[in-house]
Structure 1
Amino acid sequence: MAGLVTTLGTGVVAHAASIKERTSYFAVRGSTLEELDADLQRAGPLVAATGARHPGATEVRFDGSVSYRETSSTCRVGKTDLRLDLNMMLPRWKAPRRVDAETRLVWKTLEDDIRRHEKQHSAIAKTWLKKMESAIRNLRPERDCSAMEARVNQVTKRYLAAHERAQLEFDAKEGREVNRRLQRALVRNLEAMAAR
């Protein structure tokens, strides 16, 4: 359903991790479901990991720095300054005047599902940011700062790999359930429309 882009910058400077979120939109045009589907495939964000365009995507970028405190016999983590940048890319459709109610309803259902899906990608990234920060802060001291830095880098790589696996597992599960999920959402939207 959607794509994910993850990067990490590493550096060497305790406060809570910072998170910056933004949403960008790409235009989708058409007056039929077929035209909208074709335009989503043409205009959707290109995700390098899949080599394909998606109806939505979330760029995830981890960054930050860690400082170290050295004593006469050990070195430990001093402060962590981890950052997470999230950019959710979503479709925006301005319906032409003569679009039937069914097309509008199906689009709303799809658009809501894309937004929900991308918000979950963001939530997964936030969870792993907190886990990684906690793991780094709680590392035992090493004999010197070189060893401590190597340990921090090792833990960072392990947590980024786990984050990536969590994102892929989420996409796999969503892919298996997409038809049932959209069908249920469409039924709910039809019932809500009938009740009005």
Structure 2
Amino acid sequence: MQQLSLALLLAIGCVAGTVSARAGGINERTNYFTLRGATLEELDREMNRKGPTTGVGEGRHPGATQVKFGGSVSYKPVASGCAVGRVDFNLRLVKILPRWTPPKSASAGTVIVWRTLSEDIARHEEDHAKIARDYLRRMEAAVRNLGSRGDCRAMEQAVNATTGRYLKEHEAAQRAFDTMEGREVNWRLKRLLRRNMDAAMSAGGAGN
């Protein structure tokens, strides 16, 4: 039986420490890079020094998500020629996030600002992962629904064209998401910081 293999790697970063999980054809894990310091200025320098890179000369980032599609497609003879047999696609996701344990010298304000930023970084990278999971399902469905072709060479060409199109669309969707997030980052972080500060004040008042 003929087989098709495909792979796409979107981002590569530095890692340290691992948490893993597997579900079906999706393998996920989160790697952390550790930051040290007591002030926002020190954390910013650490982030610029240790944050992951994407491998395209854009410097370091507060977080990153590696996305790699893979798998195979088999073909079978049918009355009309050739059709897709088994579709076995998979997805590997590696989220790279910062980790900071506040020292005793860190101010309460620094802790609140860090929590706001780290929560937004984690949410952002999880949204990248969601986009990839969605495209895995869409690509599998599209290949399964291709019908038949006159021979298996033509069937393989149809599968290649379909997977190629979905991989390009996936990459474009990831770029569009980053563009949108970049436009909204200041507004979003201010809103989240206000929420976290209000929650901290409410908790402090309740403790008095």
**Shared fold, TM over 0.5:** yes
Q: TM-score, normalised by structure 1?
A: 0.90
1:161 maps to what in 2? 168
* Aligned-pair CA distance for 1:51: 3.2
* Aligned-pair CA distance for 1:96: 1.5
Task: Spell out, residue by residue over 1:108-136, the C-alpha distance to the aligned partner (whole angstroms, 9 max, x if none).
Answer: 00000000000000000000111100000
Name the CA shift for 1:96/1:17 in 2 (closer, same or farther; >3 Å): closer
SS where residue 104 of structure 2 aligns?
Answer: coil
1:76 aligned partner, one-letter code: A
Name the CA shift for 1:33/1:187 in 2 (closer, same or farther; >3 Å): same
Output the CA distance in 1 between the equivalents of 2:42 and 2:202. 29
The answer on whether the counterparts of 1:17 and 1:133 sit within 8 Å (CA) in structure 2 is no
Output the CA distance in 2 between the equivalents of 1:23 and 1:192. 28
Output the CA distance in 1 between the equivalents of 2:173 and 2:129. 12
* Aligned-pair CA distance for 1:38: 1.2
Name the CA shift for 1:163/1:81 in 2 (closer, same or farther; >3 Å): same
Output the CA distance in 2 between the equivalents of 1:83 and 1:52. 30
2:100 maps to what in 1? 93
The answer on whether the counterparts of 2:11 and 2:53 sit within 8 Å (CA) in structure 1 is no
Partner of residue 179 from structure 1, selected from 182, 186, 195: 186
1:57 aligned partner, one-letter code: A
Q: Which has the higher contact order (CA 8 A, sep 6+)?
A: 1
Output the CA distance in 1 between the equivalents of 2:112 and 2:179. 26
* Aligned-pair CA distance for 1:5: 2.1
2:135 aligned with 1:135: no
Matched pairs, number: 184
Task: Spell out, residue by residue over 1:6-61, the C-alpha distance to the aligned partner (whole angstroms, 9 max, x if none).
Answer: 9xxxxxxxxx9611110010011111111111111110111114532110000000
Partner of residue 5 from structure 1, selected from 4, 11, 16: 11
2:119 maps to what in 1? 112
The runs of 5 or more residues in structure 2 that have no matched partner are 1-9, 13-22, 204-208
2:59 aligned with 1:52: yes
Q: Which runs of 4+ in 1 moved over 6 A?
A: none
2:82 aligned with 1:75: yes
Output the CA distance in 2 between the equivalents of 1:5 and 1:50. 12
* Aligned-pair CA distance for 1:140: 1.9
Output the CA distance in 2 between the equivalents of 1:17 and 1:138. 21
* Aligned-pair CA distance for 1:73: 4.2
2:153 aligned with 1:146: yes
2:29 maps to what in 1? 22
Percent identity over the alignment is 52
* Aligned-pair CA distance for 1:94: 1.6
Output the CA distance in 1 between the equivalents of 2:79 and 2:172. 40
2:205 aligned with 1:189: no
